[in-house]
Structure 1
């Protein structure tokens, strides 16, 4: 005969086993849910990282553009006896260092290099005083001229960054219509705004450049889009850090910085005779 107590004991043990199995099943279900949740979070994070990376890379690569005809970060002009012509160079690859002008090929000329800011009144003094005679020397083949537009005076334009915008406009001309660069250079100084004013707006800049002779749609769009804005910033930083077109001058002292065969001119900016005498002295040395 079966003992009733044994039956109750068996039922209790069976119930306990069922409860244990249910607890184990619940643990496994919760574990799976945690894993699914963690995996989902990881996938979501990776997706966000991927999107952010694409945005950063896209924005970086799309805004970084180097201009043609400015491999040294300046535009170089030489002459053939009668005419001043820009020297053509290909646009450097993004991230490349500027390539210094090979002065060995210019050994028979006096090599004049200027670092200028289109918002700088002292640059205006030098340019309006000396531009004509420098271009005459270049046309005759006696000199070369290399102009480096930079922007150190954005603070003086009431937040409009006129210095950078004007430099970008000049670089647009160097890239698309380099034959018109000197005319645009002269026009930018002739119509230089007063310090601590907003300066010319974009529409006025485009009109100035067009009236000076660089009237292509490419130049106008380049000015509107600030295509070479990042390049201007980089070129300014390099010059300010002393990366100059000279073996002896390694300190940037402000604009205008004028080098003649690598020697810095520190005479009167509004005295054409003084600058001419300096050039003659350097040429004879």
Structure 2
């Protein structure tokens, strides 16, 4: 083969290599643009969903009747259900929604520690019930479950029924708790709760107005979502290093102080 032919073939190979690199670069840019466009679409969809959620919640702020606080409710406007001894030094304030999956996750992880600390007199918990999911996804499950929990408070069975509601929580997109019959059925899991008085309280929606007022207090408080967990006023749920063990240490330290 002559030198001229070898040079020609080498040049052709080089040109081909250059073209291949250009094609790879073009393909990479195209994939990047496609991914970027997909992200923008997802973000755009999220924005639309956010607007729809905000609008769908407007009608949910209407009063559900007279404000009747459950037995023993405490705090401003009697909007808190307290668990634990009043003399306990630190107070844990929890704003929660029985349809909220993040609330269920918090309760599942922290429940043994919270029970231990309240039972030993070292912690007092104030529960505030809200209905954000009703506003965001429609339905009445948050309201109905909140009312039923307040009815359980009337019967001095709040904590046990509260735990049962989270143990049996449906998917947030399914409004199972909007059915009073289901809430009464779950009361059967708490000894002595399923009584004629409890059933009437649930079916009458005796504490609906109270749950709505608590929901309004949550919104006016400027909180961003549920659960909101405050230890003596400090938001500990936002602390990424928080664990049940760390919370226990903080509570025990507060008792020593």
Report the TM-score range of the alignment, normalised by the length of the smaller protein.
0.5 to 0.7
* Alignment partner, residue 41 of structure 1: none
Aligned-residue offset at 1:276: 3.0
CA distance in 2, matches of 1:269, 1:252: 20
* Alignment partner, residue 104 of structure 2: 124
- For these two proteins, the number of residue pairs brought into alignment is 188
Bigger Rg over Cα: 1
Regions of 4+ moved over 4 Å: 280-285
Aligned equivalent of 2:70, options 61, 67, 70? 67
Aligned-residue offset at 1:114: 0.9
- Gap runs ≥5 in structure 1: 1-59, 80-104, 243-250
Q: Which has the higher contact order (CA 8 A, sep 6+)?
A: 2
CA distance in 1, matches of 2:202, 2:240: 33
* Alignment partner, residue 267 of structure 1: 239
* Equivalent position SS for 1:211: coil
TM-score where L is the length of structure 1? 0.60
* Equivalent position SS for 2:170: coil
Q: Indicate if the aligned counterparts of 1:260 and 1:282 stay in contact, CA closer than 8 A.
A: no
Over aligned residues, Cα RMSD in angstroms? Answer: 2.4
Q: How does 1:1-285 map to 2 (within 5 A)?
A: 63-72=66-75, 73-79=79-85, 106=87, 109-155=89-135, 159-175=138-154, 177-178=155-156, 180-200=157-177, 201-213=179-191, 214-242=193-221, 251-265=222-236, 266-268=238-240, 271-280=243-252
Q: Indicate if the aligned counterparts of 1:122 and 1:269 stay in contact, CA closer than 8 A.
A: no
TM-score where L is the length of structure 2? 0.66
CA distance in 2, matches of 1:275, 1:110: 11
What are the superposed Cα offsets for residues 249-274 of structure 1, whole Å, 9 maximum, x if unpaired? Answer: xx312111111122111235994234
Aligned-residue offset at 1:64: 4.0
* Equivalent position SS for 2:213: helix
| Structure whose residues are more often helix by fraction | 2
- Gap runs ≥5 in structure 2: 1-62
